[in-house]
Structure 1
Amino acid sequence: MIPYGRQHITQADIQAVSDVLKSDFLTQGPTIPRFEQAIAQRVGAGHGVALNSATSALHVACLALGLGPGDVLWTSPITFVASANCALYCGAQVDFVDIEPDTFTMSPRHLEEKLRHAAQNNCLPKVIVPVHMCGQSCDMAAIGALAKAYNIRVIEDASHAIGGLYQNQPVGACAHSDITIFSFHPVKIITTAEGGMALTNSADLARHMARLRSHGITRDPAEMTHQPDGPWYYQQIELGMNYRMTDMQAALGLSQLERLDEYVTRRNVLAERYDRLLADLPLDLPGRLADARSAFHLYVIRLRDHTLHRAVFEGLRAAGIGVNLHYIPVHLQPYYTRMGFAAGDFEAAEHYYQRAISLPLFAVMTEAEQDEVVQVLRQLLHG
């Protein structure tokens, strides 16, 4: 089976984790801040806050921005459910903005129209979460300008996009957002096994998210309600969670980070090769923004004849090609249809879902493996 994604673990990665296992700290030690600083420096952000998953990072980001009951968060319907669920964790409501057909990312045109209507009805969102689908940045200049005009906070869900570029800046610099989220799940660009990080240029937001990830507890006397009882003293000043990353995970992340550019370059080479090999088939290839470089976490094709969708998907799987579908539109999930969402709400997202297939793509994929994927796909489409 050729999987749709696969981590790449080297002897250097194993050694980095082994070194932590032999050290005095397994969980909350010195490797975590080193990893946070390294990621922040790599993308040009002021601060990084490491967490045990990108889902946790989305949750604390929403809390740090004050999202709560009575508020609304808007995100893309084509994403993993965590991009929407983070609002529900805070007691807020969720709505969606349809996607661009070619890049599968939040449409600035749809966003502008929806914001105009929301302003007229006094129901603007508090937070917008654009999703950098497949590693391709959203048009963040346009989205950021709209958010600024309507006084809305922005969280970039860049779970797919570390190593990507937008307007010659690394994704994660937060040039058009308050907070950016990365994922380090094994099939992402680099991995910490499980893990995520929130990037921000606000020291206050960084401190708040760091406190929320650790039970809402502080040891900083400046944040306490009274002077410490002694050097042992701490206070829980708000309700937080245990969302902490371990030193072992951070060590793996630091080691993987050394190969980030290599991985993204290889993914782009393979994506461009797919473009050439698939150009004559009856399908649409993933689009790119002219002023961005995708990290290419995923390579998603769309069949022009949607009636072939299931047969082609199942045929690829039967031939040992581990294709997947990213993603089922969130608004069509039963949990969300019970809130009132229904088929027909977001036309572009639903059109995408009826045709999309994620082909295998990972940094150590060989050209022979890629040729096999293309050969099987070609046979299924041409009979």
Structure 2
Amino acid sequence: MAETNSSVPRFFVCPYCGGVHKDQLPGICNYCHGPLDPDSREQTKADLGPWFVRDTNRPFAPGMRYETLLRRIKQQRLCATDVVRGPTTSQFWTVARKVPGVSHHFGVCHACQAAVSPEDDACSSCHANFCVTLDRDRLGLNSSESLPPAFVDAPVEEQTVPEHFQIQDRAEIHASQPAESEPPSRMSNNLRRELLAARRRQNTLQWLLGTLILGVVALIVLQEIQSKPEAETSPRVPVQKKDQALDAPAGPTVLPPADLAPPIVLLPSPSQSDFPTASQDQVAENAGMSFEQALEIYQRAVDANRSPIARQGELGALEVELLSLDSTVRSDDQKDWKTLMQLVRQAIKDLQAELRLQPEAAKASFPRNR
């Protein structure tokens, strides 16, 4: 028995997405929710074209015209991170910001990613052309019409999308990626402001560091200037010359034996021809002498290389001069003069002890009466 037509199952296919409907074709597709009335079909047919947008919710959606694609961009239903294909990509899937003729509507050049305007016909930086053919029957499969930068320059992660990636809600994707959905011109302005702020902070730090260094240098110089006047204006201590006189070689000091009687100081008489007559003259000449002059005479009198007789005469004359000046010395300088007097008397004692150890010199200096 021949199989009748009633035994063949009947099903209807959606012309937009290819969804299968049993029994009858509904007014709205259960899969793509597209209206299936004749007027909607004609309107959809007029919007068909060679441009496709990858959408996992509608994987079998037909292509659209270039004008329809731009309308979706203006309605913010298509962002720069979506994946599309068309005549300028040789029908290869490419991220929207890398597609010639589409990327400049997002504010960037498809070749160099420089900031451009949607009204520009070419990039001002790399001179890439933004013109697109409006012939919806041309798929752009001719090699001479394809633009390699649209596919070759795109990174691998932007050319392919993992199979497990499914878009559940386009609004959530746009909200999770606000940085990429912002216009490139706004992004470039934000980066420029951040760069200027970083430079200002760096200049401020450099200025503070330079000020700190100058302050330290100025403080060191000020301390040096304050320390120099103190060293220059410090009063001269005349005791230093006295110490030098103490350290000056005074000749060998010979102490007299303990069993001998203390020597008698015999001052030279002006009538003796053997004694130097310069002692009294020197006393007259040095009347009103200063402490430095008296100290110089003392240093010359204690020189061991000179004659003991001449040294004894000078020390005696100096002692007489110091005694005569004792009443005229100021109270501030009496201590120094007294110290010098003690040194002179000690030198006289040492010289007398030396003469006692030299009989010949003692006889010549102090002749005895026979």
Richer in strand (by share): 1
Richer in helix (by share): 2
TM-score greater than 0.5 by the shorter chain: no
Structure with the greater relative contact order (CA < 8 A, sep ≥ 6): 1 or 2? 1
TM class by shorter chain equals under 0.3
How does the TM-score come out when normalised to structure 1?
Answer: 0.20
**Larger radius of gyration between Structure 1 and Structure 2:** 2
